Chains A and B, each alone.
Chain A
Amino acid sequence: KQEVTQIPAALSVPEGENLVLNCSFTDSAIYNLQWFRQDPGKGLTSLLLIQSSQREQTSGRLNASLDKSSGRSTLYIAASQPGDSATYLCAVKGYAGANSKLTFGKGITLSVRP
């Protein structure tokens, strides 16, 4: 059974820092991996999706990398801002066809201090 781990559960950094959020998964046979952002009391918003054949994806100040063989992904946030404060979740999709299920990590709650 696929397990997704995100450590630490919470992180507090000063504004302007470059930071890395980690995600690890136990089964490397994945179809894709997604990073989501969740603001308090809100739904999830997809940030980046990396297909299993890709090594990284970039969107603005965000860069996500994928190392399938080691079961790891990282989300890099450049020049963090207070508006980046949220919970960040990663989710992997298994390879049992296009409709296989997503397995989520429990998320990392990020606080960026002004």
Chain B
Amino acid sequence: NAGVTQTPKFQVLKTGQSMTLQCAQDMNHEYMSWYRQDPGMGLRLIHYSVGAGITDQGEVPNGYNVSRSTTEDFPLRLLSAAPSQTSVYFCASSYSFTGSFTDTQYFGPGTRLTVL
């Protein structure tokens, strides 16, 4: 299994540009989520999905859009990039059933985004 993969690894955008961060998992996980990690702020949840066709907002959803058309993919779209969106973005997934091992969160390697 490749686990959770994210592309690109690095990206530089200009203010106002849009782009999509890709996330895919091959573990048949139902639950997928996007976090941003900023110095001094820790990890904050942006959006999450509990299955194909179902998404919901997290703690900091403004300026981001998501969709979940398949179980495997959960892209994050930046609609109009702003310098405040400079961050490291992580995608995570878990099996999502109750139970001991199934709740483990698996993280991707991250995308480092700079908005000028």
**Which residues on A are within 8 Å of B, measured CB to CB?**
31-32, 34, 36, 41-46, 49, 51, 89, 91, 93, 98-99, 101-102, 104-107
Q: Is the CB of A49 within 8 A of B40?
A: no
- Count residues on chain B whose CB falls below 8 Å from chain A CBs: 27
Contacts A43-B110, A49-B100, A99-B96; A107 near B42 (Cβ below 8 A)? yes
- CA A10 – CA B110 in complex, angstroms? 23
Interface of A is mostly: strand
Shortest C-beta distance, A38 to chain B (Å), equals 9
Of listed A36, A91, A102, A105, residue having the most chain B CB within 10 A:
A102
Give the residue of A34, A43, A89, A107 whose beta carbon is less than 8 angstroms from that of B104: A34
Q: Is the CB of B105 within 8 A of A46?
A: yes
